[in-house]
């Protein structure tokens, strides 16, 4: 199975590229599911069909769906949600709608992840194409499995032991009910499934992330940051799509000044994304909507390529030994040293880049050592671990 995840700034044509890729692969005989995790779904508009949260076959070998986070929420954490509702209703004396309070930021992306896992486990498809929400929401989506895993490993056992010992006393003295064992079991299962999904998403033989952009400086700068942060989580980026390139005949007269700007951005893009395959697509003469236009776009993009191919397996992480020290080296281009912070607590390493933080469990060969320093030179972060 292949999983191809498309991300990028809003308005760059990400959904059109994802839809065209899925249709192209379906026409080549692959069994393909294309799904949207974006709350502002536009996949149905691209195909000009009606979609919901169940896979619908929209052409031969091609199924599509738009994920409904409310449906996925009920499946993923019904017991825990009911428990929290009970607490909220008792404390709010009917003054709050519990369902609205429980719409925690980011949970819609979290439940979207579980729908991806469900599709993988079904075994029905050769390729799953995922049209993600714009960049910031996609980064939230990628963070969740790891953070929940840390929470489950560190916090949940303590909470469970505490409620086992004192939950009955607390329930008698307050209006807070003691959580049932199935509440913890449900959360355990949620974490395990998300951890399983992360294992699949970081497997370079299965999953690739692809960034879509347009030849504009602001879009290009955001794409570089997106690329850096995706690599910080060790997901594979194997291709970049440069969409809506103005044809030269359109850049005459009044628009002549755009020609040089566009050439400069295209050159920068070709130099900025390592081993990634670069796909280019000119601005179409009409709206990219419906099967016919999507097929046209797919044929333009992939006239000599198989989009299910893996174009790069480049890793952002590796380890080196130097004397008694062990180094964890991360390839993190396009950041500044002043924006980086590194710390370690037990076997958890915290990496902060500007306002984004990654916390991940260290392998045994590093976790038993102390963090003794780090440096950032030429796009590489070198973190040093030594024994005390």
**Res 273 pLDDT > 60:** yes
What number of H helices and E strands is found in the chain?
12, 15
Q: Give yes or no for residue 101 having a pLDDT over 50.
A: no
Cα–Cα distance for residue pair 44/25, rounded to 1 Å: 18
Whether 32 and 24 have beta carbons less than 8 Å apart is answered as no
pLDDT of residue 173: 46
Q: Whole-number mean pLDDT of the chain?
A: 82
Strand order of the β-sheet with 380-386 is: 317-322, 325-331, 380-386, 370-377
With CA atoms as reference, report the closest residue to 77 among 185, 162, 201: 185
Average pLDDT of the residues in 339-354: 88
Alpha-carbon distance of 17 to 46, in angstroms, equals 10
Residue 112 has pLDDT above 60, yes or no: yes
Residue 149's pLDDT is 60
pLDDT tens digits, one per residue of 283-322: 999 999 999 999 999 999 999 899 999 999 988 888 898 8
Helix (H, G, I), strand (E, B) or coil at 353: strand
**pTM, two decimal places:** 0.80
Residues forming beta bridges with residue 328, ordered by sequence position: 319, 383
Q: What is the pLDDT confidence band of residue 274, given thresholds at 50, 70 and 90?
A: confident
CB 98 within 8 A of CB 80: no
For every residue of 289-329, DSSP letters joined together read -SHHHHHHHHHHHTSS--TTS------SEEEEEETTEEEEE
**pLDDT for the residue 363:** 74
Domains and CATH numbers, the chain: 1-314 (3.40.50.300), 317-386 (2.60.40.790)
User: Could you tell me which residues come within 8 angstroms of residue 229 by beta carbon, excluding any fewer than 6 positions away?
Assistant: 139, 353, 356
Task: Identify the band that residue 202 occupies on the pLDDT scale cut at 50, 70 and 90.
Answer: confident
Residue 93 has pLDDT above 60, yes or no: no
Kind of pairing between the strands at 325-331 and 380-386 = antiparallel
Q: What is the mean pLDDT of residues 166-184?
A: 51
More confidently predicted of 151 and 352: 352
Q: 165: pLDDT confidence band, cut at 50, 70 and 90?
A: very low
Cα–Cα distances in angstroms (integers) from residue 84 to residues 89, 155, 163, 178, in the given order: 9, 18, 15, 11
Alpha helices in 155-255, H assignment, sequence order: 156-173, 181-201, 217-232
pLDDT band at 349, cuts 50/70/90? confident
Given pLDDT bands bounded at 50, 70 and 90, which one contains residue 158?
very low
Q: Which residue has the higher pLDDT, 357 or 352?
A: 352
- Residue 116 pLDDT level (bands cut at 50, 70, 90): confident
Three-state secondary structure along 92-140? HCCCCCHHHHCCCCCHHHHHHHHHHHHHHHHCCCCEEEEECCCHHHHHH
Place of tokens 């199975």: 1
Report residue 360: phi and psi, to 5°: -145, 155
The 10s digit of each residue's pLDDT in 37-89 is: 877 778 999 999 999 989 999 999 999 999 887 677 666 666 666 666 665 56
Predicted local confidence at residue 33, as pLDDT: 98
Per-residue pLDDT at 359: 74
pLDDT value of position 159: 44
CA atoms within 13 A on the CB side of 213: 27
């Amino acid at each position: 199975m292949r999983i191809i995840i498309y991300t990028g700034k809003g308005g760059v044509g990400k959904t059109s590229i994802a839809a065209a890729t899925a249709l192209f692969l379906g026409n080549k005989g692959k069994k393909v599911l294309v799904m949207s995790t974006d709350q502002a779904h536009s996949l149905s508009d691209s195909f000009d069909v009606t979609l919901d949260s169940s896979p619908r076959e929209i052409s031969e070998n091609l199924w599509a769906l738009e994920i409904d986070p409310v449906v996925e929420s009920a499946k993923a954490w019904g017991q825990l949600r009911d428990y929290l509702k009970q607490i909220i209703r008792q404390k709010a004396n009917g003054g709050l709608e519990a369902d609205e309070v429980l719409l925690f930021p980011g949970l819609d992306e979290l439940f979207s992840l579980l729908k991806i896992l469900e599709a993988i486990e079904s075994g029905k498809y050769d390729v799953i194409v995922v049209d993600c929400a714009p960049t910031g929401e996609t980064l939230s989506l990628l963070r969740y499995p790891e953070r929940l895993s840390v929470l489950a490993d560190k916090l949940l056992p303590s909470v469970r032991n505490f409620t086992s010992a004192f939950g009955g006393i607390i329930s008698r003295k307050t209006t807070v009910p003691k959580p049932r064992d199935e509440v913890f079991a449900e959360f355990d299962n949620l974490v395990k499934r998300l951890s399983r999904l992360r294992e699949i998403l970081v497997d370079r033989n299965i999953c690739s992330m692809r960034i879509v952009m347009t030849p504009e400086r602001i879009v290009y700068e955001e794409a570089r940051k997106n690329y850096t942060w995706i690599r910080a989580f060790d997901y594979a980026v194997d291709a970049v799509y440069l969409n809506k390139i103005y044809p030269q005949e359109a850049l005459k007269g009044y628009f002549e000044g755009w020609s040089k700007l566009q050439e400069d951005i295209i050159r920068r893009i070709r130099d900025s994304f390592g081993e990634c395959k670069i796909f280019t697509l000119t601005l179409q003469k009409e709206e990219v909507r419906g099967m016919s236009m999507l097929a046209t776009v797919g044929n333009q993009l992939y006239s000599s390529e198989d989009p299910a191919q893996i174009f790069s397996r480049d890793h952002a992480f590796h380890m080196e030994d130097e004397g008694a020290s062990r180094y964890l080296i991360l390839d993190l281009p396009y950041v500044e040293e002043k924006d980086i912070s590194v710390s370690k607590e037990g076997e958890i390493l915290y990496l902060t880049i500007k306002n984004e933080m990654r916390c991940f469990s260290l392998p045994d060969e590093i976790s038993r050592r102390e963090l003794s320093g780090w440096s950032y030179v030429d796009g590489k972060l070198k973190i040093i671990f030594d024994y005390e």
